[in-house]
Structure 1
Amino acid sequence: MLLGLGIVLGFAGIGFLCWLLFLCAVYAAPLFVAAMVCTMLYDHAMMSGVHAILAGIAAGIMVLAFGQAILASSRDPALRTLVSFLLALPAALAGFGMTLGFSGMGDMGTIPAYLFATFGALCVGGATWTRLCAIQPA
């Protein structure tokens, strides 16, 4: 009884995390930029902790705002494709890492785990790119 409940709740938890990843994957690029700016400013002793965090948040907000503004206002398909690809690339990397982590929870070999993680990266990156390309220019 309890083993069956554990299996069902385990699948439900993994399903919830995958749904959350697909929902939040559009925001992976601004989060990545914010984390990198914060880390660079703090590691090179340019700013204190709080100031580096605030600068990272500001950089992430600017990436999100500029990306959304370009996608909403540009009619050039090459520019829209490039911007949506650049915004979807960190989401694909996050999908790769998450799928590889899920593969490591089971007893899977290295080569199948990386093949499975590559498929996960393609799915998450493709879903993010599709959501970004769906933004219609004004």
Structure 2
Amino acid sequence: MLLGLGIVLGFAGIGFLCWLLFLCAVYAAPLFVAAMVSTILYDHGVLSGAHAALAGIAAGIMVLACGQTILASSRDPALRASVSLLLALPAALAGFGTTLGFCGMGEMGVVPGYLFATFGALCVGGSAWTRLCAIQPA
């Protein structure tokens, strides 16, 4: 009884994490920029910890606002596709890492794990790119 409940809850937990990954994949680029800006500013001694975190948050908000503004106002398909692709690349990297982490939870070999992680990166990146391309210009 408990083993069956554990298996069901394990699948439900992995399904919830995958749903959360697909839902939040659009915000991977601003989060990546925020983390990199705060890390660089703190490591080089430019700002203290709290100030570096606030500067990183501001940089992430600017990336998100600029990306959404370009996607919402531009009618040029090449510009929209390139901005969508730039915002979806970190989502694909996050999908690769997450899928590879899920593969590491089981007893999967190295080559099948990387193949499965590549498929996961394509799915998550494609989902993020599709959601970003769905933003219609005003």
Say how many residue pairs are matched.
138
Residue in structure 2 matched with residue 16 of structure 1 by the alignment: 16
Residue in structure 2 matched with residue 43 of structure 1 by the alignment: 43
Offset of residue 134 of structure 1? 0.2
Letter in 2 for 1:5: L
Q: 1:21-63, CA deviations, whole angstroms, 9 ceiling, x for partnerless residues?
A: 0000000000000000000000000000000000000000000
Matches of 1:107 and 1:48, distance apart in 2: 43
Residue in structure 1 matched with residue 112 of structure 2 by the alignment: 112
Matches of 1:101 and 1:49, distance apart in 2: 29
Residue in structure 1 matched with residue 78 of structure 2 by the alignment: 78
Counterpart check, 1:90 vs 2:90: yes
Matches of 2:28 and 2:130, distance apart in 1: 15
Offset of residue 75 of structure 1? 0.4
Stretches of structure 1 lacking an aligned partner (at least 5 in a row): none
Stretches of structure 2 lacking an aligned partner (at least 5 in a row): none
Residue in structure 2 matched with residue 69 of structure 1 by the alignment: 69
Runs of 4+ in 1 over 2 A off after TM superposition: none
- Three-state SS of the structure 1 residue aligned to 2:119 is helix
Offset of residue 127 of structure 1? 0.3
Letter in 2 for 1:72: A
Offset of residue 103 of structure 1? 0.3
Letter in 1 for 2:53: I
Residue in structure 1 matched with residue 56 of structure 2 by the alignment: 56
Letter in 1 for 2:95: G
Percent of residue pairs bearing the same amino acid type = 86
Residue in structure 2 matched with residue 123 of structure 1 by the alignment: 123
Offset of residue 137 of structure 1? 0.4
TM-score by length of 1: 1.00
Alignment root-mean-square deviation, CA? 0.3
Matches of 1:101 and 1:2, distance apart in 2: 25
